[in-house]
Amino acid sequence: MKKMIVASTSTVFGSDYLEYLLPTLREHFKNIENLIFIPFARPGGISYNDYTAIARKAFANIGIDVKGIHEYKNPKEALATTKAIFTGGGNTFELVHQLYKQDVLSTLKKVIENGTPYLGTSAGSNICGVSMMNTNDMPIVYPPSFNTLACIPFNINAHYLDPVVGSKHMGETRETRIKEFHVFNNTPVLGLREGSWLEVMDSTVTLKGNYSARFFQKDATPIEIASGKIIGDFI
């Protein structure tokens, strides 16, 4: 039974890293003392050790110790035996590139589907969908495939931004880019606004947080989904 938190961001304005999610994570990771952190997305190009230290400091607030997956000699074995997993944000292309390079993507999918509690933020949430094709990130590396975990039956557009009414100087909107995606692809896309997250319990995916999300399907008008609603009701 899948047990996942899929969050748009790790940090909302004016808060510390993961601070806004800690009450949820305290329950999500209840009775967990240790977890594996996947730092492959490297926001701003920081080192794995420095990124892991940031995650470790945040989880210390709820009594959980953190060890980076790069610290293990056998990452696949570590994932197969860990009690919990967190994949942080950064660049989704680099994250997916490393998951394939380290040959851990299929293992990660297996343990999540077998019930290991998982947290993803930003890029770590993008990989929960069918593919990473709705990331906002620059393609700084070329992964062997855009296919990702497919633990949820749609793609995530994290950090979703609404168009500014009347503005003509902000380039293509997120909605425009997702419409372009749907010219060539059928996978639904959820625009997940900052401060919102998905709670995944087996096959039930529920929107949480203070904001609605925008749901896009090919050849259909986008739908606003209110917090507390089950996403599957709209597919």
Q: Is 233 a catalytic residue?
A: no
| Residue 231 scores a pLDDT above 90 | yes
131 part of the active site: no
What pTM does this model have? 0.97
**Separation of alpha carbons 129 and 126, rounded Å:** 6
Residue-wise pLDDT tens digits, 34-68? 999 999 999 999 999 999 999 999 999 999 999 99
Q: Which class does domain 3-162+189-213+223-234 fall in? A: alpha beta
In DSSP notation, 42-87 reads: -GGG--HHHHHHHHHHHHGGGT-EEEEGGG-S-HHHHHHH-S-EEE
pLDDT tens readout for residues 181-196: 999 999 999 999 999 9
Select which of 122, 125, 131, 196 is catalytic: 122
Q: Of the residues 28, 97, 131, 137, which is catalytic?
A: 137
Give the active site residue among 159, 182, 212, 227: 159
Respond yes or no: is residue 122 known to be catalytic: yes
